[in-house]
Amino acid sequence: MMCIVYDEEKYQYQLSIRQGGIITHVYISASFCLRDSDLVELKNTIDLQGINVLYDPDRSDIYNQEHSQIVLIADRREPSLTQIEPQTFLLKGNLGQKTFVKNLHHIMYTISEGSRQILKSECTIHAAAVSLPRSDRAILILGDKGSGKTITTYALCSYHDAELIGNDLVIIGSDQQEKQYLHGGTTNFTFRKYVMGKFFPDLLLEKNNASASISTGIDYESKIMLNPNQLNIPVCVDKKYIALVIRVNVHALAAANSVSKIFDKPTEALRLHENFARYIRGQTTPLVLEKDGTISGHFPSFDSIEMQAMRNKMVNSLLRSNFFYITAQSPQKATDLIMKTYNENLGMS
């Protein structure tokens, strides 16, 4: 079906985007035509599972596809988002406003989180993860912003031949036996230059002029973005079951390099509870984000009792798993401790 009429307005099919295992079929007000450059940007969106978006305007049998949803986009001055059917959404926004159009792939991904959770028992979390070589096992790396997830993940891939599952965002799921697995994630590495120079000075010298640079005017926040190909790091796109969960804290002034299985379970449960709900409740994605930082529009929560119950089971299962807190003075020390802990506890998984 290449056309949909809703509330007396006609919407024309534009493209289908595959993100995190969910296909979003995008329809736009027939009275408006997206610029070719905007369509190209949407087409070049990369799935969190490492697969380019689908782009097939001749696809007609879209209602019979599993794990799919429809987003109708109306050209309106004031941004809004509503769910009009279980798998159909109406997004309103200024299609002539570049910042709105540029943010569409983020909005689509966040909308798809409900389908991901209810249809696939998977959700998006802020974390990093690697797959161990010649293994179906994975290590999930948790930590607050600036705790050292990225540098630890890079070190595991660089020094221990791990494959990258995701850095910053990963998809975690639960199978019918309620075993947790990881299935893809964002794959770029964004290093703070200050941290990179401290722990990986040779890499900074080599890549400083061959990468995208992000400058905020604040020295500590100046960053370098590198993709896995630039770092010769393989990416894992297969499902991998979680063998080890690590909450990492890397700091040069840490008192010691340590591993602990004893930690405050209620505090960790609250951290995981918040992390697992970020996307389904729309907290990560304003409908409009201007260059000057102005945000507008309401991204509603699409959470439900069923989704919350699914996430609760995942959190409870992770807390009962091989879960350790690791503090280290460098990412190299952190990875040594992680691999030692993994080897000592593999038989418990």
Amino acid 215: pLDDT? 53
| Beta bridge pairs of residue 90 | 72, 82
> Residue 281 half-sphere exposure, CB side, CA atoms within 13 Å?
11
Strand order in the sheet with 88-93: 3-6, 9-19, 22-29, 68-75, 88-93, 80-85
Contact yes or no for 95/27 (Cβ under 8 A): no
* Residue with more model confidence, 206 or 1: 206
- pLDDT tens for 230-260 read 999 999 989 999 999 999 999 988 889 999 9
Residue 43 has pLDDT above 90, yes or no: no
Sequence letter at residue 200:
F
- Give the other-Cβ count within 10 Å of 133's Cβ: 10
Residue 47 has pLDDT above 50, yes or no: yes
Tokens of 85: 């059917």
Catalogue all structural domains in the chain, each as residue range(s) with its CATH number: 7-120 (no CATH), 123-188+227-278+306-348 (3.90.228.20)
Beta pairing class for 323-328 and 258-260: antiparallel
Amino acid 50: pLDDT? 52
Tokens of 276: 């697992």
d(CA 163, CA 73): 38
**What is the 8-class DSSP label of residue 241?**
E
Residue 98 has pLDDT above 50, yes or no: yes
Strand order in the sheet with 223-226: 189-192, 223-226, 212-214
d(CA 292, CA 48): 28
Amino acid 349: pLDDT? 44
- pLDDT tens for 128-165 read 999 998 888 999 999 998 899 999 999 999 999 999 99
- pLDDT tens for 163-181 read 999 999 999 999 989 899 9
pTM for this entry: 0.90
